[in-house]
Structure 1
Amino acid sequence: MAVAGATSSGGGEKADAAAWLAVIAGILGALMATLDISIVNSALPTIQGEIGASGTEGTWISTAYLIAEIIIIPLSGWLERVLGLRTLLLGVSVLFTGFSIICGSANSLGMMIVGRAGQGITGGALIPTAQTIIAQRLPREQQPIGTALFGVVAIMGPVVGPVIGGWLAENVSWHYAFFLNVPLCVALVILLLVGLPHQKANLGELAKADWLGIIGLALGLGGMTVVLEEGQRVQWFDSSLIQITTALSVVGFICLFAGQRFASRPVIKLSLLLDRQFGSVSVMGVVVGIALYGTSYVIPQFLANVSGYNALQSGLVVMISGIPSLFLMAIVPVLLKRLDIRLAVAMGLLFMGGSALLNARLNSLSVGHDFTDGQLLRGFGQILSFMFLSQAVVQSVPREDAGDASGLFNAMRNMGGSFALAGISIIQDKRLWLHERRIEETLNANSYTVQHYVGANGGLMPAAGQLEQQIMNQAYVMTYNDIFWLMGVGTLAVLPLVFFLRPLPKNAKPAAMH
């Protein structure tokens, strides 16, 4: 059966210009969405200061995006059937840009969170639909080219995001990290109108939707995230907010599981998790999400709070992890044929866990180049883990469940990122307080060392201020070391799950990933 937009040339099919324009549109949309996952990371300290958010509250700027993506990714296939591919992409592209303008204009944390959640709920649909365009508009012989282009964007978007965001924050304004999406959207809309044919909407699908599951997914994940993010700050269940959101989360998950029982086509096919291989892949996906999103968030925070780096300098350090990813991407087809999946995933997890443990040995004099080895190791680890786990997802379920499995795997990985950011917020609060108190306990006001320090620094008041700053600095270093250590050990802890993986077929082709 010929692929729409393909023309015959010689012995095989070739995609025409309109088909390639559609593919470029899909990849451009995915680029916008993946860039905005991390474009705020390096500029986050600056943004927090300007909108009046604390370090703990600032994690919401990243978490809101990830949670919204988790909700929309499994719904993308259904929305495509309801609205048609072109209508869906035009709608989410325009809305994504509108929410980007809200983020760029934000002067409060609440306004920023609304904008970021809107970006996630619309941008999340841009990523799987890019894969759909490649599958629908390119003939089989040319699909590896489209998949490779998508893979480069999927990997490099989150990596170069902090650099672009950092450069704009330092040389223009952090607001333009979001306004950048306006010209990209204009180009995307033009490409979609030219490259994709209009499809008639099928509003009858609305009646068949798993509304219990959709509502449950939003309430369950949204409520759980609020509990994790805000619980520590408001003393957990002493707060009516936590009590209410916990109840909503429980109701949400009940609705989600009810949808599994009563819906003809559940929004997320959770029964797939009962498969030994797919369940193992999903757990590893959560852990990889924790390691990836957690480290890309913590490194800029350390460099800003301890090393005094600006947003651009922090972004350049984060970008180092993209170098091995680009190198390996070119030889992935060879690796898929030659390298046993169990060995590849084990190596990926070892590299990612090892990189976090390398970063757990920081001190107050650590600067950007102290992250180089860890970042290079992480880059090798993430491409091995992502590519082979993505391939395992496709191979571990029946062909008719491949779309559901891909959506569930991507949602699980993003959930890992959300858990990481919420967990970092809690750990940072608790460990920072603990380390400050422990350091203070070692300082006796009557000791010779303290008395000498006071005398050498101009008396009690000046010395007290400097000493407090030094205690805070050391406490930050110890806290970030704790976070890196936990991420490293947590990543290595799932290594035994690789034994549940089955070898890939010898003719395996790269599976699209996000």
Structure 2
Amino acid sequence: MTTATPTNPTTFKGNDSALLGIVLAVVTFWLFAQTTMNIGPMMAEDVGMPMSVMNIAISLSALFSGMFIVVLGGLGDKFGRVKIVLLGNIFNIIGSLFIAFAFGDAATPMIILGRILQGLAAGSIMPSTMALLKVYWDGPARQRAVSMWSIGSWGGSGLTAIFGGFMASTVLGWRSIFIICAVVSVISILLMRQIPESAPAAGREGKTDWIGIIAMAVGLAALLIVVTQGSSIGWTSMITWGLFAIFLAAFGVFINNELKVDNPFVDFKLFRNTVFTGATISNFLINGTAGALTVSLWVLQGAADMSAATAGYLTAGYAIFIIAFIRVGEKLLQKFGPRKPMIWGTIIVLVSIALLMATNTLVEQYVILAVIAYSLFGLGLAFYATPSTDAALTNLPDDQAGAGSGIYKMASSLGAAFGVAASAAIFTALSETGLDIVGAAVEFSGRQDNLAVREAGMVGLAFNGLMAIAALISITVFIPKGKKAEGEDKPLAAAPQPGAAAAGTRPEKV
């Protein structure tokens, strides 16, 4: 299958139909594939899959996306970004149909393979679509395009729990989600056929750095398994420590190789730009606060006896405020530069986490606080998204836009995975016993039989607050003051990958 290039790359200007094709490619992951975090138990029961296996299947997409996103971004730089996005859409079509038509004895392997393909699709689509925004959209048009991209990613992730629960409850059933997802990819392919190939023909010459690619893939695979499965495997298990040793060894090989080869897969010179470095670090940390959504939903379900669906509906403000205010973040970027809106957004996220930490209140009070907090969480991320990406990627050379975008998106994936996994591990470890020092320092109103869950929630949310504070520090240290970030001749645009809220997971009473 080939991509049509009816327009000269030097004269083509990004338009709304091409942008719609890009956004549709993005939402195949954030709106559709991520619904498994909410409907996973329903899927497992329907196909007869053990829930422990379904939990692995749910994490596989993030695992493979984070593991290969830099690889696929670099391949887009080398062989063509439109080609790689097309490949991602094809991966998504095949993977989604595997899941939709998973029946009988083949259901488990079909769902697992489908989730792997959906992860590879996300890894293919994210960095190359961001690079295309850099190439074919300029100035304010580019910033608007980034806002639309952000709505597809952040907005999609905010709506995924509600969308998945609603579709699964209709007569169409959960399988319809993945059939529609495949259709959306087909439409994306048709709309993107007008975009010329953008790979710089004379850009990244030389042999492909396969040693660097393989070492990074192995290291990230080991690390992501530790982060996402460590709590179930056991943090003191030899398997966990063995995987961590593999991660250290693989990254030792990777760094040594990248410093020596003539054409490194990841050029460490990118990190000489402190703006790129600081924005990438803050992106990792701010995505890590997705763990706050997970823990708070568990508290609502476990301590307030609320169903997963009802708890998920309380997060509606998260999606509404992201979608409504993403373009406000763009306007703030144009007026103040990236530093101020990034700081304001992070402070708002920190306030939302502080509200969610009030697990010592009565149920009715906590529900009101949660609704306000989820809305503020979406508002903060909306302020942060476009300015952060613009600051991170503006100064990347054109021939490394895909790889640089991949690094930035990898920070998003790893941040969300680490934040959710670490928050869940803290909550799980304390949910049975609580933490005496918290009970001694804070008076918990109402029922006392759920005290351990509420204390666990408060501690898990405090961990997320620390990540938000660290993100704030990285912004103030690395992002310069002034209307333009260092070397910002022409603003780039693309948005950070959101961490998804685990809306379908359960714990016990506020």
State the TM-score, normalizing by the size of structure 1. Answer: 0.78
| Shift of residue 393, structure 1, vs aligned partner | 0.9
- Work out the CA distance in 2 between the residues paired with 1:65 and 1:210: 25
Q: Structure 2 counterpart of 1:75, which letter?
A: V
Contact between 2:7 and 2:195, CA under 8 Å: does it hold in 1? no
Letter in 2 for 1:53: M
1:421 is matched with 420
After TM superposition, give the deviation of residue 257 of structure 1 in Å.
Answer: 1.0
| Cα drift, residue 496 of structure 1 | 2.8
Residue 500, structure 1, aligned to residue 478, structure 2? yes
Deviation string 1:170-207 (CA, Å, 9 cap, x unpaired) is: 334334333331221232333345x24579999x9897
Q: Aligned match of 1:67 in 59, 63, 66?
A: 63
Q: Which amino acid aligns with 2:472?
A: L
- Kindly indicate whether residue 292 of structure 2 is the aligned counterpart of residue 295 of structure 1: yes
Q: Is the 8 A contact 2:84 2:125 kept in 1?
A: no
**Which residue matches 2:189?**
189
TM-superposed deviation, 1:246? 3.1
Secondary structure of 1:208 counterpart:
coil
Distance 1:238-1:345 versus aligned 2 partners, 3 A rule? closer
What corresponds to 2:405 in structure 1? Answer: 406
Structure 1 residue 101 and structure 2 residue 101: aligned? no
Q: Is structure 2 residue 344 aligned with structure 1 residue 347?
A: yes
User: Mean Cα displacement is larger for which, 32-41 or 382-391?
Assistant: 32-41
The one-character-per-residue Cα deviations of 1:445-465 (angstroms, maximum 9, x if unpaired) are: xxxxxxxxxxxxxxxxxxxxx
Counterpart in the other structure of 2:115: 116
Contact 2:315 2:374 in 1 (8 A): yes
Q: CA deviation at 1:323?
A: 2.7
Structure 1 residue 226 displacement after superposition: 2.1
Q: CA deviation at 1:36?
A: 3.8
Shift of residue 111, structure 1, vs aligned partner: 5.9
The structure-2 alpha-carbon separation of the partners of 1:110 and 1:474, relative to structure 1 and needing over 3 Å to count, comes to: farther
For 2:91 and 2:399, the matched residues in 1 are separated by 31
Contact (CA 8 Å) 2:37, 2:161: kept in 1 or not? yes
Output the amino acid matched with 1:210.
Answer: D
- State the one-letter code of the partner of 2:177: A
Q: Does 1:282 align with 2:264?
A: no
1:100, 1:178 within 8 Å by CA — same for their partners in 2?
A: yes
Do the aligned partners of residues 21 and 222 (structure 1) sit closer, same or farther apart at CA in structure 2, a change above 3 Å counting? Answer: same
* 8 A Cα contact 2:134 2:492, kept in partner: no
Please provide the CA RMSD for this pair.
3.8
1:161 is aligned to 160
Distance 1:383 1:187, change over 3 A: same
- Whole-Å Cα distance in 2 between the matches of residues 487 and 75 of structure 1? 29
* Letter matched to residue 315 of structure 1: G
Q: Which residue of 2 aligns with 1:30?
A: 26
* Equivalent residues of 2:424, 2:460 under 8 A apart: no
In the TM superposition, residue 165 of structure 1 has moved relative to its aligned partner by 0.6
Aligned counterparts, 1:318-467, within 5 A: 318-339=315-336, 341-362=338-359, 365=363, 368-395=367-394, 402-435=401-434
Describe the superposition over 1:454-509 as per-residue Cα deviations: whole angstroms up to 9, x where unpaired: xxxxxxxxxxxxx9xx84x4433332222112101331244333133113429864
- Which residue number corresponds to residue 452 of structure 1? none
1:264 to 262, 265, 279: 262
Q: CA deviation at 1:217?
A: 1.6
**2:217 is aligned with 1:218:** yes
1:92 matched to 2:88: yes
The residue aligned with 1:487 is 464
Cα distance in 1 between the residues matched to 2:472 and 2:44? 37
CA distance in 2, matches of 1:211, 1:72: 13
Structure of higher CA gyration radius: 1
Deviations 1:415-473 (A, max 9, x none): 1111112213321331123329999xxxxxxxxxxxxxxxxxxxxxxxxxxx9xx84x4
Aligned residue type for 2:325: L
Q: Give the whole-Å Cα distance in 2 for the aligned partners of 1:184 and 1:72.
A: 23
Q: Matches of 1:266 and 1:501 in 2, distance apart?
A: 27
Q: 1:137 to 1:388 in 2, by over 3 A?
A: closer
Q: Partners of 1:7 and 1:207 in 2: how far apart?
A: 23
Confirm whether residue 176 of structure 1 aligns to residue 176 of structure 2. yes
| Whole-Å separation in 1 of the counterparts to 2:79 and 2:12 | 28
TM-superposed deviation, 1:375: 1.3
User: What is the letter of the counterpart of residue 371 of structure 1?
Assistant: A
**1:63/1:422 contact within 8 Å kept:** no
1:454 matched to which residue of 2? none
Counterpart CA distance in 1 for 2:82 and 2:429 is 48
User: Conserved in 2, the CA contact under 8 Å of 1:43 and 1:311?
Assistant: no
1:49-86 Cα deviation digits (max 9, x unpaired): 663325xx766455432232223332334323555444
1:93 shift after superposition: 1.2
Which whole-Å CA distance do the structure 1 matches of 2:215 and 2:86 have between them?
Answer: 27
Deviation at 1:353, TM superposition (A): 1.5
User: 2:247 is matched by which residue type in structure 1?
Assistant: S
The alpha-carbon distance between structure 1 residues 327 and 39, as it changes in their structure 2 partners (threshold 3 A), is same
Gaps of 5+ in 2: 439-446, 497-510
- In the other structure, the counterpart of 2:207 is 208
- CA 1:119/1:331 → structure 2, altered by over 3 Å: closer, same or farther? same
The answer on whether the counterparts of 1:6 and 1:138 sit within 8 Å (CA) in structure 2 is no
Q: 1:145 to 1:49 in 2, by over 3 A?
A: same
Matched to 1:166, the amino acid is G
Higher-RCO chain (CA-CA 8 Å, sequence separation at least 6): 2
The alpha-carbon deviation at position 349 of structure 1 amounts to 1.6
Aligned to 1:442: none
Q: Deviations over 1:246-288 (max 9, x none)?
A: 3432332123213312333333334433544333222211110
8 Å Cα contact 1:23/1:133 also seen in 2: no
Counting only pairs closer than 5 Å after superposition, residues 303-318 of structure 1 correspond to structure 2 as 303-318=300-315
* Distance in 2, Cα, partners of 1:199 & 1:290: 32
8 Å contact from structure 1 (residues 4, 136) kept in 2 = no
Q: Percent identity of the aligned residues?
A: 17
Distance 1:237 1:146, change over 3 A: closer
Q: For residue 39 of structure 2, what is the aligned residue in structure 1? A: 43
Amino acid in the other structure paired with 1:330: R
